[in-house]
Amino acid sequence: MSADIVLVDGIAAAQLSVFDRGLHYGDGVFETIACHSGRPRFLPLHLERLVAGCARLGIRPPALESVRAEIEQLAGMQARVLIKLIVTRGAATARGYAPRGDERTTRILLRYPWDEDPSLAREGIRARIAQVKLGESSQLAGIKHLNRLEQVLARSEADPSQAHEALMFSSSGRLISGTMSNVFLVRDNHVTTPRLDVCGVAGVMRRVLLREAERAGAPIEERTLRREDLDAAQGIFLTNARIGIWPVRSLDGRAFTEAPVTRALQELLRPVLQEAHDG
């Protein structure tokens, strides 16, 4: 389950400068791109979020033609691989938090096997509620930055055999997401998903699903959700760029039968996941 190829600034390498601000401060962003039959899925959406994240942090984005060429090089001839793209502000040119503005962006591409149990999308997963809360920081909300200790701690709370994913609330009690997925609640065939204006990552699969549901005339509502919304939900499902849609079949022991709308949304995404490699 380790990466078999790594490119640092376009060159095969297993090492990085010890001065990189990605290490010192988590000063960067990342993407995980699912690649099928040599083709990176939703690449334009991943690159769009990457560039938006860089803009938020004031990081000069990497040359996208180089990134695209390198991703295609790594994805090429592979049936199923995941490519993780990390972009940092680069090696520090001075001590301290303040960027100088003369840093040179670092880009790192790592290729991992994409092995996955397809029964989870069919039969659903076991979820739990994380003890760790997400800090609220609107300047960091939505982007996929490298400050991920809250997710690391949430994943460390319980043995992975107990639950496939953990749902996370923010410090003020908002339902936000899973540790590595976005969350959707179903009630009376109406689907809602948390607004991500105070924390959370705006996932690529979440964005695709919102778009496809809108096109299909059954829009999903983004709003502030709290514990009582979760308690009132008749169905829950999760999305991320790798897994598509995972129905939740139990949450801390509470059982859910799959809502018909969840299955319908899975069907709606099926052709998109197989074909829409252009975004």
Binding site for a second copy (CB under 8 A): 1-3, 6, 8, 13-27, 30, 57-58, 82, 84, 86, 88, 92-99, 108, 110, 112, 131-140, 145-156, 160, 171-172, 179-180, 198-199
User: Within 10 Å of residue 213's Cβ, how many Cβ atoms?
Assistant: 21
SS3 170: strand
Inter-helix orientation angle 260-275/204-215, to 10°: 110
List, in order, residues 6 or more apart from 95 with CB less than 8 Å away.
Answer: none
Q: Could you tell me the smallest distance in angstroms from the CB atom of residue 103 to a second copy?
A: 11
Nearest CA-CA partner of 240 in 147, 121, 141: 121
Q: Could you tell me the smallest distance in angstroms from the CB atom of residue 62 to a second copy?
A: 16
DSSP for 23-35, please give it.
HHH--EEEEEEEE
H/E stretch holding 112:
strand 106-113
SS3 234: coil
H/E stretch holding 212:
helix 204-215
Q: Could you tell me the smallest distance in angstroms from the CB atom of residue 80 to a second copy?
A: 14
Please say which residue, 179 or 266, places its beta carbon nearer to a second copy: 179
Distance (Å, whole) CA 84 – CA 164: 21
Please say which residue, 9 or 212, places its beta carbon nearer to a second copy: 9
Please say which residue, 132 or 209, places its beta carbon nearer to a second copy: 132
Please say which residue, 144 or 249, places its beta carbon nearer to a second copy: 144
Q: Could you tell me the smallest distance in angstroms from the CB atom of residue 10 to a second copy?
A: 14
Place of tokens 């690449």: 43
Please say which residue, 148 or 187, places its beta carbon nearer to a second copy: 148
Three-state SS string over 125-138 comes to EEEEECCCCECCCH
Q: Could you tell me the smallest distance in angstroms from the CB atom of residue 2 to a second copy?
A: 7
Please say which residue, 92 or 233, places its beta carbon nearer to a second copy: 92
Q: Could you tell me the smallest distance in angstroms from the CB atom of residue 186 to a second copy?
A: 26
Amino acid letter at 210? L
